[in-house]
Amino acid sequence: MIPPMTILITAGPTCEAIDPVRFLTNKSSGKMGYAIAKSAADQGHRVILISGPTNLNVPDLVDYIPVESTQEMYDAVEHWIKKADIAIFAAAVADYQPANISEQKIKKDAETITLKLVKTPDILGSAKQKFGYQGVLIGFAAETENLEMNAREKLKRKGCDLIVANDVSRKDIGFNTNQNEILLISADYIERPPKASKQHLSHIILEHAVNLAAPRGMD
């Protein structure tokens, strides 16, 4: 029997407004993050789910915090992460946002327009470095090439205890699919579970998270 912990999960896409009716986003459905939230809540953990817009039902017994932009997700994570023993970042966060948001709908008078983009804040990378988070930190890596090498680089750069890497160039796994195939990479080990449903893989991810928490006296 695992003692209950507080688990913060980010899920879904973020949306970056261009004008009052248009935005930049990505293909994340939220299925991976919501599967982890459901499994964690079913196991009796307190779950704080910070999610961009999705069409999914929020799992029962989850504290749900809806957000739209990366900045909103950043602010929500900064506020809630201090309460967490484990933080799992499954959201597909926009890396760039428009430098300016037009107050009015942009007219389609010109043949071409140029959109200037600036970097969004790195939420995962801020967890330990800016928010002072000391719990177990798990990031995802969505890659289209050099999966293991890029995931290892993110593990170090973002100060994670574990990276869950998936190949988002494949149509059968990754974005908006019910199945996924993941690599679990820590500083000490690598594990390659076989392709399975996101719900099944969420149990494996949680098992790793709880094992990483145990030596810190969180069990």
Using CB under 6 A, list all residues that contact ligand PMT.
10, 28-32, 70, 89-93, 95, 120, 122-124, 139-142, 154, 166, 168, 174-176
C-beta closer to ligand PMT: residue 18 or 217: 18
Q: Which helix (H) or strand (E) holds 191?
A: strand 190-191
Task: Work out how close the CB of 141 gets to ligand PMT at its nearest, in angstroms, rounded to a whole number.
Answer: 4
Sign of CA dihedral 215, 163, 122, 84: negative
Task: Please name the residue ranges forming H helices in the chain.
Answer: 31-42, 70-80, 123-129, 147-157, 198-213
Task: Work out how close the CB of 103 gets to ligand PMT at its nearest, in angstroms, rounded to a whole number.
Answer: 25
Assign residue 101 a region: left if phi > 0, alpha if psi is -120 to 50, beta otherwise? beta
C-beta closer to ligand PMT: residue 78 or 106: 78
Among 26, 100, 146, 211, the active-site one is: 26
Task: Work out how close the CB of 71 gets to ligand PMT at its nearest, in angstroms, rounded to a whole number.
Answer: 10
How far apart CA 111 and CA 14 sit, in angstroms, is 28
End-to-end Cα spacing for the chain? 10
Task: Work out how close the CB of 144 gets to ligand PMT at its nearest, in angstroms, rounded to a whole number.
Answer: 10
Q: Minimal CA–CA distance to 44: which of 71, 76, 4? A: 4
Examine the residue annotation and report whether 146 is marked as an active-site residue of this protein: no
C-beta closer to ligand PMT: residue 6 or 29: 29
Helices (H) and strands (E) in the chain, counts: 5, 14
For residue 139, what are its two tokens?
A: 């990031």
C-beta closer to ligand PMT: residue 64 or 113: 64
Active site residues: 26
